[in-house]
Chains A and B, each alone.
Chain A
Amino acid sequence: MSEMRKTPLLDDLEKGPWPSFVTEMKKAAAKSEMSNDLLGALEQCYKDKKTHWKHGGIVGVRGYGGGVIGRYSDIPEQFPGVAHFHTVRVNQPSAWFYKTDSLREICGIWDKYGSGLTNFHGSTGDMILLGTKTENLETIFAELSSRGWDLGGSGSALRTPSCCVGPARCEWSNIDTLDITYSLTEEFQDEMHRPAFPYKYKFKVSGCAVDCVAAIARADCAIIGTWKGDIKIDQAEVQRYAKNGMDINAEIVNMCPTKCITYNGKELKIENEDCSRCMHCITKMTKALRPGGERGATILIGSHAPFVKGAQLSQVIVPFMKMEPPYTEIKELTRKIWEWWDEYGKNRERIGELIERKGMRDFLEYIGVDPHPAMIKEPRRDPFYFWTTDELK
């Protein structure tokens, strides 16, 4: 083991109350030459105010086209330990629940064959094992997969689906987010490991409109739990909130976007027909208010970050879908969406961008979904629109 890298700039980030990533890197560096050189390389970035990584490549495990991200230092002569420093993405269990024996098993593998550094978790949701050499990849994959762990997605493929804590520990969840996520992941293993799409495709599953996994902003397909019946009210609990200091008119009635709630000091009333199910009142008075009646999900398609021509949020495609195992409807809809994308999508074109380019009508007709006012904020403003010959005399 060579001497610890000197890192005067990074050392400053060990000060202060918040847990320090530099301390974590040093713990790993004490055991791993790779992590020691990572510290040195990062210190160099801090000095130069620029990154020292090169991207892309051909590394992976046999048969798969994703799950490993090739990464190479651009100053390998200075930091040979990170000449190769590839990432392994491991598909996390639904909602990020773990048992400690499994975590220790992964730590053992990673200390032996990798840098000992990880991310819990990456932005998409995978467990990230950060930094290993090309020659260790097959062994790592065998060690992981023989213990029941598989790789996640990368490249132009289905990315690892993820979900909120859902019915495991949340009273607001209208759907079984954990089971849906598991079921979709198992159904589409081939699409995850063998990239065949124009670009990435992400599923995120949230139990309600609070959307704790940011599905609406980050998933090509957002599955967001909702309900169709009336909100159930426990008037005694409403009174308890009032007694404990909640200003029900200011905090609930006046903040309701559809103004469907009234409160006369004794009783809270909701005009359920006018409720848009935004979740504000339910989250603020969780003991008093609960969704009622039929449960299901709204399916929204198309969000992505700003590349290429500006960010998009996902848009409503199916206003309400029942979500019961084996989730055949969402799986069939997904295959139709992919067929259309495969037919018309260009390299690196997300589904949301293609819908914008080809038009909603083309998309909806192909996937077999009828127009519905829930799909729009407002109808078109312009007088320019298509008719098909079938629609004309």
Chain B
Amino acid sequence: MSTPQRKTDIGPPHYKQFLPPVIQKNYGQWKYHEELSAGVMVHVSESGDEIYTVRVASPRLISTDFIREISDIADKYCDGYLRFTSRHNVEFLLSDKSKLEPLQKELKDKGFAIGGIGNRVSNLVHTQGWVHCHSAATDASGLVKVLMDEFYDYFTSKELPSRVRLAVACCTNMCGAVHCSDIALVGVHRKPPIPDHERIPNQCEIPSTIGSCPTGAISPDPAKKSLKINDEKCMYCGNCYSVCPALPIADPDNDGVAIVVGGKVGSLRNGPKFSKLVYPWLPNNPPRWPEVVNAVKGILEVYAKNARKHERVGEWVERIGWEKFFKLTGIPFTFQHIDDFTFARETWRTSAAFKW
């Protein structure tokens, strides 16, 4: 069989062909929506038309068999229409209310997790990890799996004060929205890269590698036509390794997972926020990372118990103060928590008022 004629610069297919008829008819005319359960909502149009959404989790890393399975379900109940969310959930869209119960029953029978809507833990935004990334300091899919096994009920039923957005990035490149999530994990290194002097001259551009270092820790080593690392200046970010493959930085015993909390992206109430460091390092302990799961669980439970309704993690911590956050959670406070990088000044306390 011959290969078909390739085309370039066509862009994606036009979205309109993928919109269910009820959406085409009521596009831009939606009036309100209601959350009917943890995984079901209805949107009602000015015209009175309704569209029901049933949301289920996917592990993001999915086989073609999975895609065919959800396609078969969408054919049976949704006239062949479905969508994905920005957090890797699958949404089945239907306008015939009578199919809602049978659809949910079939999804449950097939083991799908229905949920993620409202003040709950939704699916995680995450990165490739050891499955497919060269700079991963930890795995991402594995961490997502063990966290969501633990928080399964917070996806499918149990409510929290507000929505809680978890994320995992397997290195400080942060290809996910880790830097603005309620609770997020990030893979970190703790040792400087070790220059491979044989490979550097052939594989790396000296000036751009020097330029990639945020702390000025890299300098030329003219005798070797290579590079030197000033270990005292290196903060192990790994940006140099992205530019120069002959600066390996991975170290199995010292790489691990940091936990950051209190970020959000919406402008609701008090604007988007960055996530802040609470656990500087926990060990990579695959396949189930018990230390990491326990730490996240501890934070989530203290939040669930103490936050007011509609308060996101970051809003709650700002209300009670970080000193109280560390007290309530029992997380040890260390030198690593005090910023000594770009934004340090803005983060130091410059008031005599704080809590004991």
Contacts and interface: CB of A to CB of B under 8 A. Distances in A.
* Complex: A in contact with B (CB within 8 Å): yes
Interface of A: 9-10, 12-13, 15-22, 24-25, 27-28, 35, 38, 42, 45-46, 48-56, 61, 63-64, 71, 85, 87, 91-104, 106-107, 110-111, 116-121, 123, 125, 130-131, 138-139, 141-143, 145-150, 162, 164-165, 167-171, 173, 176, 178-179, 182, 185-186, 189-190, 193, 209-218, 224, 250-251, 255-257, 278-280, 283-284, 286-287, 305-311, 313, 346-348
Interface string B161-194: 0000000000011111111100000000000000
Contact of B61 (A45, A52, A56, A130): A130
B142 interface: yes
Contacts of A173: 28
A305 B142 contact: no
Given A98-B82, A98-B83, A279 B250 contact: no
A99 B245 contact: no
27 contacts: A16-B146, A19-B112, A19-B113, A27-B63, A42-B130, A45-B139, A49-B286, A50-B130, A50-B255, A98-B82, A100-B81, A102-B13, A121-B84, A147-B4, A150-B11, A182-B12, A193-B9, A210-B267, A211-B272, A212-B86, A214-B125, A214-B265, A217-B265, A280-B269, A283-B268, A311-B174, A348-B211
B179 A117 contact: no
B287 A214 contact: no
Interface string B69-111: 0011011000011111110101001000000000000000001
A54 B134 contact: yes
A146 B130 contact: no
Contact of A278 (B7, B18, B68, B269): B269
A145 B342 contact: no
A362 B170 CA distance: 36
Contacts of A284: 310
B237 interface: yes
Contacts of B214: 307-309
Given A145-B6, A146-B6, A94 B60 contact: no
Given A51-B250, A146-B6, A279-B267, A123 B176 contact: yes
A56 B267 CA distance: 37
Nearest to A289: B32
Interface string B227-257: 0000000000101001101000011110100
A211 B265 contact: yes
Interface string B335-346: 000000111000
Contact of B286 (A9, A190, A310): A9
Contacts of B148: 18
Interface in B256-285: 263, 265-272, 274, 284
B225 interface: no
Contacts, number: 366
A164 B86 contact: yes
B145 interface: yes
Nearest to A117: B63
Interface size class of B (residues with CB under 8 A): 35 or more
Nearest to A144: B6
- Tell me which of B4, B112, B212, B251 has the highest count of chain A C-beta atoms within 10 A of its own C-beta: B4
B19 interface: yes
Contacts of B51: 169
Nearest to A9: B287
Interface in B46-72: 51, 53, 57-68, 71-72
Contacts of A15: 149
A13 B313 CA distance: 28
B163 to A, nearest CB: 10
B33 interface: yes
A92 B146 CA distance: 29
A306 B15 contact: no
Contacts of A280: 268-269, 310
B149 to A, nearest CB: 3
- Tell me which of B141, B267, B288 has the highest count of chain A C-beta atoms within 10 A of its own C-beta: B267
